[in-house]
Each structure stands twice: as structure tokens, then as C-alpha cells.
Amino acid sequence: MLAAIKNQWFNAAAFLLLFATVIVFAYTGNYFVLVTPFAFLYTVLLGVNWKAAWWIFLFTIPASVQINFAGDTMAITLPDEPIMWMFLILFTLIYARNPQTIPKWWWKDPLVAVIVLQFLWTIVACIFSKVAFYSFKFLIAKSWLLVCFFIIPIWVFQEKKDYVKGFFLLLVPMLITIIVILIHHYYLNFKFDKVQKAMSGLYYNHVDYSTVISMFFPLLLVAWPLTRGKGFFVRLILLLVILIFMAGIFFSFARAAVVGIVFAVVIGLAMRAKLVNLIMPAFYAMIIVTMCYMIPNNKYLEFRPDYNNTYMHKNFADHIISTFKGKDMSSMERIYRWIAAVRMSQDRPITGYGPHAFYYFYKPYTVTSFQTYVSRNNEHSTTHNYFLYMLVEQGWPAMILYAILIALIFSKAQKIYHRFKDRFYRMVTIGLAMTIAVGFINNFFSELIETHKVAALFFIPLAMLVLLDKKSKEMEAGESTEEAIA
């Protein structure tokens, strides 16, 4: 009887909401009003079956679009950002009621420890921030990204079918966005200087687009050997998908995406040869040596560009050639920002200027001889390097923690890969490590980890590696027990 009454109230509320939606839409003509019933149903689903709601949320991420309002001074990505708000609220309520919801083994994982330390240091940086309002907005956004992409997955990915489901729920909408963008770009004659226009609002810019699809690309590569025995048609479809992704990456005209894929292949081969622990120390040593060469006696000034001959090019070939000649505007602008970031960090080395603060303070620290035509920075972009982004906004502790995190990820992935005997989990592990490797290189020339689409492809693989580490240890212990009994 009570259940019947509840159903009647729910049906009545749903009908009234639908009726009100139609009336408001008829009066205003605003199509966003039509989303209201779906938002209501999704909220109900979140309360009834949150895991199903999370799977739907995962599907929406690649196709979410940015909507600007309030005179383009504010923006929101729909539909995934409001969903992240709901998951943050839901998780906060659940965790406040029962902290044991997160298992103890999760807290003990080294990857989790570094992520937690990063988050805690972000709080410290916000407290000492010179732009407190923007910094705390950053902190809140970081909170819902970590909840949705790093914490919740520990309850979602339990079996092989969950990994397969997650793969397809990201692949299908991402593939559609690539096809849409390629079609739009085709009608623009695939011109290098029209790539931004081809984005059609699906991505912030071509760098965000290239980073997302290049990060997912290694998962397609490891899927290929897993399709053996699945039939000719399945492998043909996968091959076609790989070719479409390759076309998307090429026509995104982003150099970092291509370099990232090459680096990912190196990481994959190094993991199989048990040499991956040499990669990041060698990378960091190379950066330190370069800095030690450039900084003393202002050696870097010898590489300053010719302002009148440093410009944006009309085609990708000229873009690549000019990069090696030091006449590419975007490359020189990066150096312009990097120099400013290093000089800024000397004034606030421990806590930095605060998250989201670089733009407001970097101009006095720039070296004008590296200035380019885009140095006015109308888009309010930042350092174009995630290490320096951490350094200038959150200080040396944040940058060091990020460096440790990347090295730890590849080291852990190698151990997991060789611990597993199961071929599926071995390929998944190497694919996740390669995905993060692509993201690492892209973020060496940008700072995209806090954008929702890149964050999903960075933190979900981290959560999966934590889960796979536990699973590999359990399976290894089980095999040892069986051998002992035998």
C-alpha cells in the first residue's frame, strides 16, 4: 500500500514536471528547458542505482560541450559537469555517514598516498593564495574530478566485463566526435589554420582534442591483440576505428600528441623489458642538465627569436619546419611563459602564487626579447608546462610530488604487468600505462589535467592501476597457494 502511494506521488511529480517543462519551453523557446525532465530522471536514477548513473556519466564525457553565459565571462560543460557536482554531494554524504566506505587497503597504496598529499598541498596553496576566490574554485573543481574519476571507480571496476564496458562507453562517443570534427574540417579543406573552427564546441581547442584522442589511442593498440579469435569482422571494425583515430590525431595538427604516442610506445616496450624505471630518471636528468646549461650567465638569451620572423604558419609542414628553426610562434611563446614561471617561482618558492594565479602576475617577470605576436594572451592561458604550472602556482612541493607520481605510475605498472599471468589484465595494464605516458608528454607542453575530459583519461587509469595492483597480488598469492598444495 505504502509503495503504491509512493509510486503515485512520483508519477504525479513527473507529470507535473513534464507539463511545466512544455509550458516554459512554449513561452521562452529556450531548448535547454527540455533537459529538465532528463535531469530529474537522472537524479532519481542516481539515488536508486548510482553505478548505472556513473556508467551513463562516463558515456557523456567525450561528447560534453562547453556553454558560455553571462557575457562569456562564465562557462559550464554539459551534461557532465552538473553530474560531477551530484556525485561529489552523494559521495560527501556517504563518506560522512560511514568513513569505512573507502577500504583500508586503498589508503595504503603509494599512488593514493601521493594523490592525497597533492590534494592536501593544494589546500595549503589555496590558503596562501594571492587570488583566493579563483584558487578555492580550483580546489572545489579538483575535488569533484578526484571523486568522480579516482575514488568512485574503485567500486565500479571489479571484473573483466567492467573494463570492457568502460572502454566502449568512452570509445563510442569519442569516435563520433572525431568523425564530426573530421567532417567539419573536410569542408574547411583540412586547413591548418581552420582546425580550431572545426572543433564545433566539442573541445576547448585543438590541443584539448588532440590530447584526449591521443591518450585513448594506446587502448586501441592493446585491444588489437585481444581481438584474436574474435573473427574477421571484429578485427576489421577495430582496424577502421584505429585508422579514424590516426586521421583525427594527424588533422588535429598537434605536435605533442604525436610525440606522446611515440613516448607511450617506448614506455610499453620498456615495461616488457623491465627497463621502465630508467625512463623517468633519465628524462628528469636531461631536464636538469638543460636548465643548468641555459640559466647560468643567461645563456638562454642566445636562443631568443626574431620578433618579425616568428609567426603562425598556414600549413602543418611549415609549422614543423619553423619549430626546428626556432621561428614558430607557439613554441617561442611557450619559452616566453616558461622563463616567466621560473623567475616568478623565486619570489614564492614554497606555496606559489595559488592555483589559477599565473595569468594575473606573470607579465612583470617576462623577458621581452622572447615576446611574440600572441603575448597579449587574450585567452588567459597559463604556463604551457604542467611542471612549471605546479611550481609557480603551488610551489616546489607540488612540482616534486607530480614528478614522483609520474615515475611511481610507470614503476607500479611494470610490477603489475609482470605479476599478472592473465593475458587480458597484462594488456590492460600496459595500455593504461601508455595512456598516462601520452598524457604526460601532452602536459609537458600544456596543463590539461584539470580539464574534465583529460582528467577522466588520467585519473581513471590511475584508479584502475590501484585496483589491478591489488588483484595481481591476490591472484599471485592464489597461484602460490595452489602450487604449494600441489
- Spell out the domain ranges in the chain: 1-41, 114-486
CA nearest 263: which of 218, 314, 300, 326? 218
> What's the chain's average pLDDT?
85
Q: What is the reported pLDDT for 281?
A: 93
Burial (0-12, 13-18, 19+ Cβ within 10 Å), 73: exposed
pLDDT digits (tens, 9 = 90+) for 409-440: 999 999 999 999 999 999 999 999 999 999 99
CA nearest 386: which of 338, 330, 328? 338
Q: What is the reported pLDDT for 299?
A: 61
Q: Which residues pair with 69 in a beta bridge?
A: 74
Concatenating the DSSP letter of every residue in 445-479 gives: SS--TTSHHHHHHHHHHHHHHHHHHHHHHHHHHHH
Question: Which one is predicted more confidently, 312 or 275?
Answer: 275
Reported confidence tier of residue 25, pLDDT bands at 50, 70, 90 = very low
Q: What is the reported pLDDT for 33?
A: 53
Alpha-carbon gap, residue 182 to 180, rounded angstroms: 6
Concatenating the DSSP letter of every residue in 57-125 gives: HHHHTTT-EEEEETTTTEEEEETHHHHHHHHHHHHHHHHHH-GGGS-HHHHHSHHHHHHHHHHHHHHHH
When pLDDT is averaged across residues 227-249 and rounded to a whole number, the result is: 93
When pLDDT is averaged across residues 240-247 and rounded to a whole number, the result is: 97
Alpha-carbon gap, residue 122 to 113, rounded angstroms: 14
The Cα angle at residue 309 between residues 304 and 310, in degrees rounded to 5: 65
Using CA of residue 187, residue 63, residue 230, residue 228, what is the dihedral sign?
Answer: positive
Least confident of 17-21, 80-84, 201-205, 251-255: 17-21
Question: Which one is predicted more confidently, 68 or 413?
Answer: 413
* pLDDT of residue 295 exceeding 80: no
- Nine-digit cell string for 144: 569533484
- Nine-digit cell string for 70: 553571462
When pLDDT is averaged across residues 229-250 and rounded to a whole number, the result is: 94
* pLDDT of residue 52 exceeding 50: yes
The Cα angle at residue 365 between residues 362 and 366, in degrees rounded to 5: 90
Reported confidence tier of residue 321, pLDDT bands at 50, 70, 90 = very low
Q: What is the reported pLDDT for 309?
A: 52
Question: Which one is predicted more confidently, 361 or 303?
Answer: 361
CA nearest 418: which of 337, 357, 367, 475? 475
Question: Which one is predicted more confidently, 331 or 355?
Answer: 355
Alpha-carbon gap, residue 347 to 221, rounded angstroms: 45
Alpha-carbon gap, residue 35 to 52, rounded angstroms: 19
Q: What is the reported pLDDT for 375?
A: 66
Q: What is the reported pLDDT for 135?
A: 95
When pLDDT is averaged across residues 99-105 and rounded to a whole number, the result is: 90
Q: What is the reported pLDDT for 293?
A: 78
pLDDT digits (tens, 9 = 90+) for 163-200: 999 999 999 999 999 999 999 999 998 888 888 888 87
Reported confidence tier of residue 72, pLDDT bands at 50, 70, 90 = low
* pLDDT of residue 311 exceeding 90: no
* pLDDT of residue 298 exceeding 90: no
Q: What is the reported pLDDT for 425?
A: 96
When pLDDT is averaged across residues 232-255 and rounded to a whole number, the result is: 94
Which residue in the block uniquely carries the three cell numbers 555517514? Answer: 97
CA nearest 465: which of 91, 213, 149, 147? 149
Reported confidence tier of residue 317, pLDDT bands at 50, 70, 90 = very low
Q: What is the reported pLDDT for 35?
A: 63
Q: What is the reported pLDDT for 32?
A: 56
Q: What is the reported pLDDT for 479?
A: 66
When mean pLDDT is compared over 306-315, 350-359, 476-485, the highest value belongs to 350-359
